[in-house]
Amino acid sequence: MTRKPPTMADVAKAAGVSPMTVSRAFKRDASVSEATRSVILQTAETLGYVFDATASNLRSQRSDFVAVTVPSLNNANFAETVRGLTEGLRPAGLQILLGYTDYDMDEEERLIDQFLRRRPEAIVVTGGRHTPRARRLLEHAGIAVMETWDLPDAPIGHVIGFSNAEAVRSMVDHFVARGLTRLAFIGGDAARDTRGTDRRRGFIAALETYGLDPTRLVDAGTPPISMAEGAAAMALLLQRFPETQAVICVSDLSAFGALTECQRRGIAVPGAMEIAGFGNYDVASVCVPALSTIDPHPRRIGAETARLILSLREMPSPPQTISIAPTLILRGSTS
C-alpha cells in the first residue's frame, strides 16, 4: 500500500498539462495563466504532491541554501546574528543551513566540508581564523564567503564585523577616565576562542597605552565560558589580585557569574569592585546592579550580511569589509 509519492509528471497528467507547466506553476514569476495555475495547485494538493527541491537544485544548479556556521547555538549573540540572516534572506527564498562548531576549528573545517557539498549560494562563518584546509576550501568554493564577528587581517572574502580589541579598549578608557587604575581581565586565551583572545589582547594593549599594569589576567576556562566559570574566576581574582578595582569580563555571562561571587562574599559592586561584561545579554540589563557592557549589534551583523549576500547575487563585487561599530553601554556596575 506504500505506493511511491507523486512527481510533477503525475500532477501534470492529472491536471492535463505538461510537466513544464506544472514546474512553472510552482515558481513565483513564471508565466502561467491564473486559471491553469490554480488547477495545477489544486491537483497537486489533492494528490499530496510535495515539490522535490533536490531535483530542482540539481537541474537548475542553484540550491537556495546559505550555509552558516556559528560557534554555539546557545548564545544570544550568535542567535541574533542568525535571526538577522534568516529575516534578511527569507524574502529571497533562501534557506539557512545552520551548524555549530563548538568553538572548535577542526569541527568548523568538517562542517564547511559537509556544507560545501550541498552547493550553497554563499557561506557565512564566524570569525576570521580557520584551519589551513578550511581556508583552502573556502577560497576555492567559488561562492561568496562572509566572515563575521571579526576584522581578519587576511580576509578570505567579504567581512562583516568589528574589532574585538578596540571594543574592549573603549571599556578600559571608561575605567581610566573614572580614575581606576588597577584593572583586571577575566577570560581565557584558549586558541579556540579567537574573539575572546582578541578581547584580552585589546585589554592588555590598552593598559600598556596608559602605562598601567596589564598582568591581572585570570583564565576562566575554555569557551563557552559559563556563568559558573565567571564566578570561579572572580574567586581566583580576589585571591591573586586583591588590590583590583575593576574587572572586564570576556562576556556578560562570566561577568554576571563574577558579580554573584561578589554578592556571596559581601563585596559591594560597585564600591569595592566594579564589573563590566561584553555582549549586552539580557542578564546584564536585568541583574542588580545592572552590568556595563558592550553591544556588538549582533542582529545588524546578520542583517548586513544578508543584505550583502543578496546584493552580490544581483551584481558580483570585489571583497567588501563592512564595519559595525560596537556601542559602549554604561550601567550601575561601573558607577
Task: Report in angstroms how near the CB of residue 83 gets to a second copy at its nearest.
Answer: 7
Q: Taking CB within 5 to 8 Å according to partner kind, which of DNA, a second copy, none is near residue 332?
A: none
Q: Does 76 bind a second copy (CB under 8 A)?
A: yes
Which segment (34-42, 131-139, 185-193, 323-331) binds DNA by CB under 7 A? 34-42
Q: Cβ closer to a second copy: 5 or 319? A: 5
Dihedral, CA of residue 190, residue 196, residue 202 and residue 205, to nearest 10: -20
Find the binding residues for a second copy in span 250-269 (CB under 8 A). 253, 256-257, 260, 263-264
Angle at 59 between CA 54 and CA 61, to 5 degrees: 90
Q: What is the nearest approach in angstroms of a second copy to the Cβ of residue 183?
A: 24
Q: Tell me how far apart the alpha carbons of residues 130 and 333 are, in angstroms, rounded to a whole number.
A: 36
Q: Give all strands (DSSP E) within the chain, no chain letters.
A: 65-70, 95-100, 122-126, 144-148, 158-161, 183-186, 217-218, 246-249, 274-276, 293-295, 321-323, 327-329
Burial tier of 62 (Cβ tally within 10 Å: 0-12, 13-18, 19+): middle
Task: Using CB under 7 A, pick the residue from 3, 29, 31, 142 that binds DNA.
Answer: 31
Binds a second copy (CB under 8 A): choice among 11, 15, 80, 125: 80
* Runs of H (alpha helix) within 178-286: 194-210, 227-240, 252-265, 282-286
| Distance between CA atoms of residues 288 and 328, nearest Å | 19
Smallest gap from Cβ 331 to a second copy, in A, equals 13
State yes or no: residue 9 binds DNA (CB under 7 A).
yes
Q: Are 289 and 334 in contact (CB under 8 A)?
A: no
**Number of residues this chain uses to bind a second copy (CB under 8 A):** 53
- Kindly write out the interface string for residues 41-60 of this chain, putting x where it contacts DNA by CB under 7 A and - elsewhere: ----------xx--xx-xxx
Identify what 181 binds: DNA, a second copy, none; CB under 5 to 8 Å per kind.
none
* Structure-block grid coordinates of residue 202: 585589546
Which of 95, 226 has the CB closer to DNA?
A: 95
95 beta partners = 65
Q: Verify binding: residue 19, DNA, rule CB under 7 A.
A: yes
Question: For DNA, which residue of 28, 29, 35, 48 counts as binding (CB under 7 A)?
Answer: 35
For residues 72 and 100, the answer to whether their CB atoms sit within 8 Å is yes
By C-beta, is 23 or 254 nearer to DNA?
A: 23
Contact indicator for 44, 11 with CB cutoff of 8 Å = yes
Residue 13 φ then ψ, to 5°:
-60, -50
Instruction: Find out whether 322 and 304 touch, Cβ atoms under 8 Å.
Output: yes
Q: List residues binding DNA (CB under 7 A).
A: 4-5, 7-9, 16-21, 23-24, 26-27, 30-33, 35-37, 51-52, 55-56, 58-61
Q: List residues binding a second copy (CB under 8 A).
A: 2, 5, 48, 50-55, 57-58, 63, 72-76, 79-80, 82-83, 86, 95-100, 114, 116-119, 137, 140-142, 226-228, 231, 253, 256-257, 260, 263-264, 282-283, 285-288
